[in-house]
């Protein structure tokens, strides 16, 4: 297997864009990534698209070649990947495999979602399709309800408090307020987070990620080819791992941990030849604040059960032990589902290049992205190193 480099990144702003189509968002992100890499569409040999529910949200199928045509790609393999909220990460994993295996020398991976074309009730119903529709769905359980159960069990098992969840929201909003591409650039206080409108007890509106539109894209080539396109400031892929687990919560022996995450993390650390303490920063899947707390434990950044106090003590903030979601995370940056996994990689590369502005962390040699699908049915973990 060849080593793989990310030589170009591109992201649209995340937000609510009533006048934008899904393909136009994706084509914009791809164009930005190609420009950043300094290459044209004719150099691209394969296109991998992460998208969860484009047909349901917009009515458009056959999205990969549709977007490729708008981006100027012609005659190349174009494939769409759907793995719930991990669709973007899955697209990257397969694109990475293709380049690493020598099947192609230049690939573009993009992720996109256009969610605001439907109202909140419709979006909630579409998202619920990433869960167990034969059981959980029939009982009326949406994802806020499922993660509320996870939060309640974590509180019961480990003494996690509402203040711990709120601390994650406050931190991510502070980071997102400094991110010019974030959906919600708004700081909040701990008191505001605790007093938020209840969505699914104990989760309030401040514990839940946003319904967003947006797209992100990366250009990948073998490391040996990277200097041809960009003599410096590319990122090397140290590890890329995809894992899975059962989808229904009631089929999991312990809902306070995601076995797909722990399995993928262990494999990724072994593949990269590092451990959790070697990671300088991480972008993790905070679809709900409890998800970031569980991720910090499953990734080995803090012992099991300590994720809440770890966050409340500022250990995951800028300048902390392990800065998490310096982009603002899904909570503040936004969560256009299919774009999230690729967007995390763009955010990491920006940090690894030292181009994150006033969100730049001092130590930024190694970054980790954790992209979760549904309530843990899929996980993709990618570890990047600054060149």
Which listed residue (78, 85, 287, 346) is catalytic? 85
Q: In what order do the strands lie in the sheet with 213-222?
A: 78-81, 46-50, 107-114, 213-222, 4-11, 235-244, 378-386, 366-373, 281-283
Contact 113, 338 (CB under 8 A): yes
335 included as an active-site residue: yes
How many CA atoms lie within 13 Å of 369's alpha carbon, on the beta-carbon side? Answer: 33
Task: Give the whole-angstrom CA distance, residue 178 versus residue 159.
Answer: 32
Neighbouring residues of 9: CB distance < 8 A, sequence distance ≥ 6: 32, 33, 36, 216, 217, 218, 219, 345, 346, 349, 350
The phi, psi pair for 268, rounded to 5°, reads -70, -40
180 Cα distance to chain centroid = 18
List the structure tokens of 76.
């190349």
Helices (H) and strands (E) counted in the chain, each on its own, are 14, 11
The phi, psi pair for 242, rounded to 5°, reads -120, 135
Give start and end residues of each alpha helix (H) in 142-258: 143-158, 162-176, 190-194, 226-229
List the structure tokens of 140.
């009326």
Task: Give the whole-angstrom CA distance, residue 283 versus residue 277.
Answer: 15
SS3 96: helix
Task: Give the whole-angstrom CA distance, residue 83 versus residue 96.
Answer: 16
List the structure tokens of 37.
């890499």
SS3 362: coil
How many CA atoms lie within 13 Å of 172's alpha carbon, on the beta-carbon side? Answer: 37
Longest Cα separation, the chain? 56
Helix axes 289-298 and 162-176, enclosed angle (nearest 10): 100
Which listed residue (335, 346, 364, 379) is catalytic? 335
85 included as an active-site residue: yes
Cβ neighbours around 134 below 10 Å, total: 9
SS3 47: strand
Question: Tokens 């059981």 correspond to what residue?
Answer: 135
Catalytic site positions? 85, 335
């Amino acid at each position: 297997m060849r080593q793989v480099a990310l030589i170009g990144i591109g992201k649209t702003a995340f937000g609510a864009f009533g006048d934008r189509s899904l393909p136009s968002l994706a084509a914009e992100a791809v164009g930005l990534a190609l420009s950043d890499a300094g290459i044209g569409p004719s150099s691209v040999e394969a296109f991998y698209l992460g998208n969860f529910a484009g047909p349901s949200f917009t009515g458009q199928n056959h999205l990969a070649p549709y977007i490729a045509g708008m981006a100027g790609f012609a005659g190349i393999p174009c494939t769409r990947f759907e793995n719930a909220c991990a669709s973007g990460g899955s697209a990257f994993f397969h694109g990475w495999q293709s380049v690493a295996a020598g099947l192609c020398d230049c690939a573009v991976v993009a992720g996109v979602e256009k969610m605001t074309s439907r109202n909140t009730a419709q979006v909630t119903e579409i998202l619920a399709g990433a869960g167990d529709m034969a059981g959980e769905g029939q009982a009326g359980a949406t994802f806020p309800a499922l993660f509320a159960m996870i939060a309640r069990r974590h509180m019961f098992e480990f003494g996690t408090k509402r203040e711990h969840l709120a601390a994650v929201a406050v931190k991510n909003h502070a980071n997102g307020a400094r991110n010019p591409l974030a959906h919600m650039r708004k700081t909040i206080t701990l008191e505001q987070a605790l007093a938020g409108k209840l969505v699914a007890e104990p989760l309030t509106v401040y514990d839940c990620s946003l319904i967003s539109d947006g797209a992100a894209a990366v250009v990948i080539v073998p490391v040996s080819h990277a200097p041809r396109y960009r003599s410096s400031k590319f990122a090397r892929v140290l590890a890329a791992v995809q894992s899975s687990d059962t989808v229904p919560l009631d089929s999991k022996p312990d809902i306070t941990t995601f076995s797909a995450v722990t399995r993928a993390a262990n494999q990724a650390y072994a593949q990269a030849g590092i451990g959790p303490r070697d990671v300088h920063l991480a972008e993790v899947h905070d679809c709900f604040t409890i998800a970031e707390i569980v991720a910090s434990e499953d990734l080995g950044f803090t012992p099991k059960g300590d994720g809440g106090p770890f966050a409340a003590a500022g250990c995951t903030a800028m300048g902390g032990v392990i800065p998490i979601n310096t982009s603002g995370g899904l909570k503040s940056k936004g969560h256009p589902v299919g774009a999230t996994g690729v967007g995390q990689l763009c955010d990491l590369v920006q940090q690894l290049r030292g181009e994150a502005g006033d969100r730049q962390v001092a130590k930024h040699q190694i970054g980790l992205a954790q992209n979760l699908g549904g309530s843990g049915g899929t996980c993709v973990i990618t570890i990047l190193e600054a060149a």
